[in-house]
Amino acid sequence: MTKNKSPKNGNHNQKKRKRSPSKDDGMVEESIVPHVITWLEKRKKKVPDLLKNEDISFSIDHILGQLSLKERERRALIRHVEKCVNNKNTSTSSDATNELEGSDNEYDIQDIKLNTSLDVKSSNWPSNAEFSNNYKWNNDIPNSIKDQYTPSNNNIRQRANRLSNRVYFKKITDPNHPANGQFGLYCALDHIKPGSWLLDYVGHISLGEDQDKTSDYVSDFGEKSELACDANRYGNEARFLNDYRNTGSYPNVEFNKRRDANGELRQGVFVRKAKLDSRVKPGFDGVRKDEELLVR
C-alpha cells in the first residue's frame, strides 16, 4: 500500500518513492519509546540499548537514526507511533471501530443495483494482482489472534468483488508528479466531507514478522499492529493510494481501524478530519471529484 506510496502504495509493478523523515515527523512524546519497542519486537527486530532506558525521551527522528529500516518500514513505524499516541487513552477508537451507516452497502453481493461500469473485468486492473474486497488470512495465524478480529461464529461477511463507486484509479501523466507513469487513486463523488469512510484497504493478512519484506503494499493491521496486510498480489483499488510527500499537496485521507456490523476488523480509508495539524490544508473541508487521494 502505501506507496511513496506508503500501506504503503501500490502502484502496479512500481516501487514507491523514497524519502527521509521530515520535520513533520519530529514527534517528541514520553510515551513513544514503548510503542517503538512493541513494534520492533512484533517484527523480531533488535531493540537498540538506548531504547531500553524508558526514562529518557527521544524524538522519532532520533530513534529512526538508530534503526536499520527500509523506507516503508520507517513510514510504518511512524504511523504506528502516531496512532498509539493519538489513542493513548483508549485501547481502540470508538469512532474508528464502529460500523458507519451505509459504509458497505455498495459491496453487497445481493445488490440489485449493480452497475456494470464498476465491474473489475471492464477496468484496467493489473493482471498480476487478484481483486477482492475480502481479506485473505494466512493459515498459520493462531486462532487466538484471528478470533479477536473476525466474528466468533466465523460469520465473516463476503463482499462483492467490484470496484467502489466512491473512488477510481488511473495512470498519472503529470511529469512533475513523483509517481508519474504509475497509478493514483481519485475521488469519484462531487464532495466527500471530512471523517467520511471511502473504502477499506484490503489484502493478504499475515503475522507481522512473516510479512513480505520486498512488498511496497504492506500496511500494519490489528489493534496492536501485530499483523500485516499486503495488497501486492491481492486486494482492492486502495492499493493505488500514493503518499503526499513531494507532491506539493497535503494528505487528505488517513487509515483508521473500524468494525463492520458482524464484528470484523477492517482497515478503513477515511477522509481526514479538519483539525489543527500542519499536515492538513488550512480550511480543509473534504475532497472533491477528480482530486487525488493522498495519505501520509
Largest CA distance in the chain: 59
pLDDT of residue 137: 96
- Does this model's pTM top 0.85? My answer is no
Query: What's the pLDDT tens digit per position in 30-77?
Result: 568 888 888 887 777 888 887 776 556 777 888 888 888 876 677 778
Whether the per-residue pLDDT at 103 is higher than 80: the answer is: no
As assigned by CATH, the class of the 93-295 domain is mainly beta
Q: What angle do CA 240, 295, 220 make, to 5 degrees?
A: 80
> What is the grid cell recorded at 264?
470484523
Domain ranges of the chain: 93-295
Query: What's the pLDDT tens digit per position in 266-291?
Result: 999 999 986 655 566 777 889 999 99
Whether the per-residue pLDDT at 114 is higher than 80: the answer is: no
- Say whether 192 sits in a helix, a strand or coil: strand
Of 9, 79, 71, nearest to 242 by C-alpha is 9
Compute the mean pLDDT over every residue in the chain, rounded to the nearest whole number: 79
- DSSP classification of residue 11: B
- Asked if 200 and 270 touch (Cβ cutoff 8 Å), the reply is no
Choice among 19-33, 77-91, 115-129 with the minimum mean pLDDT: 19-33
- Asked if 254 and 279 touch (Cβ cutoff 8 Å), the reply is no
pLDDT of residue 191: 94
Residues whose CB is less than 8 angstroms from the CB of residue 219 and which lie 6 or more positions away in sequence, other chains included: 1, 2, 6, 7, 8, 76, 201, 203, 228, 229, 230, 231, 255, 267
How many Cβ atoms sit within 10 Å of the Cβ of residue 237? 24
pLDDT of residue 164: 92
Query: What's the pLDDT tens digit per position in 216-233?
Result: 899 999 988 899 999 999
**CA distances (Å), origin 267, targets 199, 202, 216, 222:** 9, 7, 17, 9
